[in-house]
Amino acid sequence: MSTPQLVVHRDKELMAEAAAARLITKIVDAQASRGSASVVLTGGRNGNGLLAALAGSPARDAIDWARLDLWWGDERFLPEGDPERNVTQAREALLDSVPLDPKRVHAMPASDGPHGSDVEAAAAAYAQELAEASAPENHAAVPSFDVLLLGVGPDTHVASLFPEHPGVRETERTVIGVHGAPKPPPTRVSLTLPAIRTAREVWLLAAGEDKANAVAMALSGTGEIQAPAAGAQGRARTLWLLDTAAASRLPRSLYPPASA
């Protein structure tokens, strides 16, 4: 696994713009070298901020949207179209305004979908969809993700893996149903840490004063059971994209030399 690298931006707006520019380049490069790109989206304020910045960037037209697979790191298990669903917010921020191939937009199941309110069945179905998309040479139960985005909650949660919750201890499954999440709604679907760690690059996004303790905890050696964000690492790269407020409680030894 890769050692975390930190980039600190002046404020959350600049962080979103810079992360969007970085993501456009990654997708274009992956499409040039492998023909298509695969990105895992996150919910939350910073994930949606990045998507909105991408929607507003003229460089978005450099992406071949029809050759992009989109997956989700987690989802709030609510009815289709619910405004609190991560996919609903992503559609509003970006997806509805770009020419994606609908077959390559892999939303997690809704609570009024084919599995009804059975969140375990919904999680198993998403695991199956991931496994079917994995090329045989991957030898993995998930496709090879180019970039996996994660918001970091003020309690250090990533995706829907919460501190000390059963989901953060999962070692076998790639996708789990989450019950009794401390942040509403209580029922969710989430990738697990082993699935997250298959991604080439994992980018963690955190902006704002309310994220400062979480960032400091996760980057100062706290274990992944207490701080799930600490366990989110990419195979080739783990990138923490922060603003100055979120980075403000990092020990000086970790603070990167240059900020933009």
207, 193, 208, 86: which is closest to 148 by C-alpha?
A: 193
H helices of the chain, in order, are: 12-34, 44-55, 86-93, 119-133, 193-196, 212-219
Measured CA distances, 2 to 53, 172, 200 (Å):
27, 21, 10
> Minimal distance in Å, beta carbon 210 to ligand LXAUTJHC?
8
Distance of alpha carbon 201 from alpha carbon 237, whole angstroms: 5
Among residues 76 and 106, whose Cβ is nearest to ligand LXAUTJHC? Answer: 76
The reply on whether position 163 binds ligand LXAUTJHC by CB under 6 A is no
Per-residue burial over 99-114, b if 16 or more Cβ lie within 10 Å, else e, is ebeeebbbbbbbbebe
Give the DSSP per-residue string, 189-235.
Answer: EEE-HHHHTTSSEEEEEE-SGGGHHHHHHHHTT--TTT-GGGG---S
* Candidate residues 109, 143, 151, 167; the one interacting with ligand LXAUTJHC per rule CB under 6 A: 151
* Candidate residues 4, 44, 109, 167; the one interacting with ligand LXAUTJHC per rule CB under 6 A: 44
* Candidate residues 88, 160, 174, 198; the one interacting with ligand LXAUTJHC per rule CB under 6 A: 160
Which one of the spans 43-51, 61-69, 124-132, 232-240 is the region binding ligand LXAUTJHC (CB under 6 A)? 43-51
> Minimal distance in Å, beta carbon 215 to ligand LXAUTJHC?
12
The reply on whether position 43 binds ligand LXAUTJHC by CB under 6 A is yes
Per-residue burial over 74-92, b if 16 or more Cβ lie within 10 Å, else e, is bbbbbeeebeebbbbbbbe
The reply on whether position 86 binds ligand LXAUTJHC by CB under 6 A is yes
The reply on whether position 74 binds ligand LXAUTJHC by CB under 6 A is yes
> Minimal distance in Å, beta carbon 62 to ligand LXAUTJHC?
26
Which one of the spans 37-45, 131-139, 191-199, 219-227 is the region binding ligand LXAUTJHC (CB under 6 A)? 37-45
Structure tokens at 208: 């704002």
Among residues 138 and 226, whose Cβ is nearest to ligand LXAUTJHC? Answer: 226
Structure tokens at 93: 């921020």
Among residues 130 and 258, whose Cβ is nearest to ligand LXAUTJHC? Answer: 130
Residues that bind ligand LXAUTJHC (CB under 6 A): 42-47, 74, 76, 86, 151, 153, 159-160, 183
